[in-house]
Structure 1
Amino acid sequence: MSVLRILHLYSRELGINGDAGNVTALAERARWRGIDAEVVHHAPGAELPAGVDIVHIGSGPLSAQRAVHQDVLAIAPRLREWRDAGVPILAIAGGWQLLGRELVTPEGETLAGAEVFPTRATLSAKRHVGEIVVRLTDGTTLAGFENHSATTELEGAEALGRVVSGTGNGGGQEGVVVGSAIGTHLHGPVLPMNPVLADRILGTALRGEVAPVAQTERVDRYATNARRAIAERLGVSL
């Protein structure tokens, strides 16, 4: 691979919780390993590139979701093709809701989703705002910040992990995994805070494990301290 191409969907509309930091983390962690990275921004009405290596979509309020909704439906077939081909997709909160099957507004309106994920999100007047700790099935612990009003049903899909402290999807689960596609409520942003997840995404895109280098080891110490601080505030262990 000569250049790692990262597609950032709706960076102007969806990114109110620092989610653009996920794209920065992926690009920089690739460059630190000697891999050129290109970030391609997609806005409503624009053409998608012919091929990408990673797809990212951030979060935003319902007004922003409505602003991009028709374009999401227009590009949905390509997104599903990339998912089926194993292209890593990272969808955060509101962006994940749009890439699910349905998004139900507090007024009861149903917005059709891109069906990248077999999930259904129902928004309410109650917001879930605060720090969150999640444990994956392999024992990896993620930490971050959630800010959403959704209860999310996984219609036959696998959760990203189990909530140790926080709300997540509701019912003790957090996020969703479909092949190499991940949906999560975690902000922070999630990848700088949890570099193990960033490197898993990079490894999938590059078709091989990515080894630590001096730059990643240095910044990962800060991420470890940040996760530890969240866990201590919540009274849980990493």
Structure 2
Amino acid sequence: MDYKFSYNIKQNETSKKDNSNNNKDQDTENENIKDFGIPNSIGKNNIQFISLIGEIEGHFVAHSDKKATKYEHIIPILINSQQDPAIEGIFIILNTMGGDVEAGLALSELIHGINKPKVSLVLGGGHSIGVPLATSTDFSVIVPSATMTIHPIRTTGLVINGPQTYRYFQKMQQRINEFILRTSNITEKTLLDLMYASDQLANDIGTILVGNEAVDNGLIDAVGDFSFAISKLKNLIKTNNENQ
């Protein structure tokens, strides 16, 4: 009986020691990880990677069964990217279905206002409010298989005072259109034609652009992959450093 008791004590001590070592290893690993799982050592040019995925969550919390990007989490990262002299460029990765209009537009304006080289890469999709997010950088890239949906803003549920709501949506749409027009090479006529096309979507108006189509319409700067986009950003960083 005494032997078994002594054995259990040693076994527990060994187990605690192993758990302690595992915790230390995990703590060390955590110290080397920044926001969104990006290591502290992020390359020679100190590029800040930011992913915008799923639904862009705004003033209301997205459903628990949805992938979502909280804009209040991204804003501090963008501010730090502007303030930190060690960060020389920003790489935005997009695979978003869209989401809250004001939150998406706020992030777009903040990205556009950073005076460091910025490149965006559309992977999978950059739909709805994802369009201005994609065009907010200095140079935008889309992979050949990615899609972008352009459509007017809409709402679901009860609408009170129809004319007033319509005018509010009209002003909101104008804000989005003006941002896209000043941050891309698309013309206003092309943008409106794509936005109000009635032969593309089954239950809505708008247009889906695939890869090259987004470039051909002046919305995105180039078709390419991750290597191409990161090389473009490094070239922008090099040019920016030479001009300083």
Please tell me the TM-score bracket, short chain as reference. 0.3 to 0.5
Higher relative contact order (CA 8 A, sep 6+): 1
What TM-score, normalized by structure 1, do the two folds share? Answer: 0.38
More helix by percentage? 2
Q: Which has the higher strand share?
A: 1
Give the TM-score, by structure 2 length: 0.38
Which structure would you say has the larger Rg? 2
